[in-house]
Amino acid sequence: MSVAYATHAPKGRGLAALGLGGLLLAGCAQEASRPGAGPVVTPEAPQQAASRSIGVLLPLSGANAPLGRELLAGAEMALAAQPAQGTRGVQLRVDAHDTAGPGGAAEAAAAAVRAGDSVLIGPLTSGDTAEAAPAAQAGRVPVLALTSDVAQARPGIWVMGITPEDQVQRLVEQARQEGRKRFAALLPDNPLGRAMGAGLQVACRDQGLAEPVISYHSSAPENITDALKQLSGVSSNGASLPAGVVPGSEADTQAQPLPTDLAAALGQAGNDAASAPATLPGGSASMGVAGMSASGQSVGPASLPFDALLLGDTGLSLKTVMTALNDMQVGLPAVRIMGPGLWAAFASKLGPIRGAWYAAPNPSARQGFVARFSAQYQHTPKPLVDLTYDAAGAVRTLADEGAKDFSPRLLTRPTGFQGVDGAFVLLPDGRVRRALAVFEVIGSGAEARMIATAPTNVAPQAASGGSVAKAPAGGA
């Protein structure tokens, strides 16, 4: 298989064409006729391999051009990889389209459809994906978008980012294997919290568990404390509440938007790491249930209506949540605390919730890719590059296997694909299931430890469109 490149700039914006490779040239020699030499013999021309153009929609000009070009390099690297020996390679041509500027994503998608691109990789953000989707769907061109916003998922439009739903699915599966059956969530009333809450509902339904009880809170400390008391069946004055009663919480006017892609945040500490406390009241000892507060007053119920609790906070609000958990003695062994993969950036500072879990890719899984990328481009790839490499790698895999197109039927094959961070499968409804590892916070300033490896594959579940990860033989 060979790879060729073409770069397109939107109308009104100049962009130099990229000299990033060349076309595979094939020709045939013709033997010259000589007098008396008999008939002219013309060797049969070798059969040309099928050619397909792969549209890549990224910001290639403006402020985000450096990121866009690095993501383009990830796609190029995957498409240029040599096919396995004996496979029927297809010539793939990279057709890059710039999404920068107002309406750039819609224009880029329309241009890619007009150019006859077989599949689109990108665009980068949730907003750009929404812009590009109509033209792609009208042209029946599959889209492998890089966003982690599962709201953009639909038939023919796949969300390649590591979504909150994916993380929660993995956590619920692991907690279920531990014997946890009653799930609840204490989540910030912001896009991340809402995505995790929706993911918990889907995961419990997919895995045959009871409907979870979910409470959303604002950033105000008193609102967090009240929400936890309500979840735990305790009113603000200490009286018990009927099981399952969780009054609504006020919206958080200071809510931060969901990160453009959680995969980027998993490898970067950012502001959350700086604001997460090294030590908090209550220490890092495992917590029981129905203990005594510092004042000697009982603050927790004798038993809790849940045995697994999902959190979604980061930064300073997480400090308040952890303080409330300590004060109410909510934790192991009665309750397994779980949280977002964003905790990976500052897991060493989460001692007060020692034993808590989060799901994320195994960092060691991408070491081979990082080494290859660094050798070729002389720098370490950003985590987002994993997504363009995975998307292009799925296309390359199908091409190497002799696929004549990249239809949804082929893209959603049950066996899925192997990516930089592990196995993934594209579901018919546009969601992508990724094999994630589970990590446990161990406190004492140490990094989290992996307690369950990523499954070797993820299989769609027919009942509701979700999935249940399959653990490898002999796995944790």
Give the domains, in start order, of the chain with CATH numbers.
3-24+48-162+365-434 (3.40.50.2300), 164-360+437-470 (3.40.50.2300)
Q: Which of 296-310, 353-367, 372-386, 421-435 has the lowest mean pLDDT?
A: 296-310
Closest CA relative to residue 81, chosen from 382, 376, 407, 363 = 376
Looking at residue 363, the DSSP 8-state letter turns out to be G
Q: Calculate ∠ Cα 250-253-256, nearest 5°.
A: 120
Give pLDDT, residue 6.
59
- Return phi, psi of residue 104, to 5°: -65, -35
- The residue among 470, 437, 448, 474 whose CA lies nearest residue 362 is 437
Summary mean pLDDT of the chain: 78
CA 67 vs CA 70, 280, 381: distances in Å: 5, 38, 10
Q: Any idea how long the chain is?
A: 476
Distances (CA, A) of 382 to 66, 104, 386, 432: 11, 23, 8, 21
Model pLDDT, residue 444: 84
pLDDT for position 469:
35
Per DSSP (E only), the strands in 292-448 are 308-311, 336-339, 357-360, 417-419, 422-426, 432-434, 437-440
Q: How far apart are CA 280 and CA 349, in angstroms?
A: 9
Would the pLDDT of 400 be above 70?
yes
- Tens of pLDDT, residue by residue over 44-78, are 444 455 688 999 999 999 999 999 999 999 999 99
Q: Which residue has the higher pLDDT, 456 or 325?
A: 325
Which pLDDT belongs to residue 280?
30
Task: Give the rounded percent of residues in the chain with a pLDDT score beyond 70.
Answer: 69
Evaluated on CA atoms 196, 201, 207, 211, the torsion sign reads positive
218 CB neighbour count, 10 Å cutoff: 20
Contact partners, residue 197, CB within 8 Å, separation at least 6? 185, 187, 214, 216, 312
Is residue 441 within 8 Å of 355, Cβ to Cβ? yes
For residue 410, the surrounding DSSP H or E stretch is: helix 408-411
The CA-to-CA distance between both ends of the chain, in Å, stands at 39
Q: What's the CA gap between 41 and 71, in Å, rounded? A: 49
Reply yes or no on whether the pLDDT at 443 is more than 80.
yes
Residue 344 has pLDDT above 90, yes or no: yes
SS (HEC) of 108-151 = HHHHHHHHCCCEEECCCCHHHHHHHHHHHHHCCCCEEECCCCHH
Cβ(204)–Cβ(184) below 8 Å: no
116 has a pLDDT exceeding 60: yes
Q: Which amino acid is at 35?
A: P
Compute the distance between CA of residue 33 and CA of residue 276 in angstroms, rounded to an integer. 82
Three-class SS state of 47 = coil
Contact, 282 vs 352, CB < 8 A? yes
394-400 average pLDDT score? 94
Helix, strand, or coil here: 240? Answer: strand
- Asked if residue 383 has pLDDT above 50, the reply is yes
- For residue 234, the model assigns a pLDDT of 66
pLDDT number for residue 80: 87
Q: Is the pLDDT of residue 434 over 60?
A: yes
pLDDT mean over 28-57: 55
The residues near 335 (Cβ < 8 Å, ≥ 6 apart) are 289, 304, 306, 307, 308, 309
Using pLDDT thresholds of 50, 70 and 90, give the confidence band for residue 404. confident
> What gap in Å lies between CA 204 and CA 62, rounded to an integer?
43
Asked if residue 256 has pLDDT above 80, the reply is no
**Whole-number Å distance between alpha carbons of 102 and 81:** 34
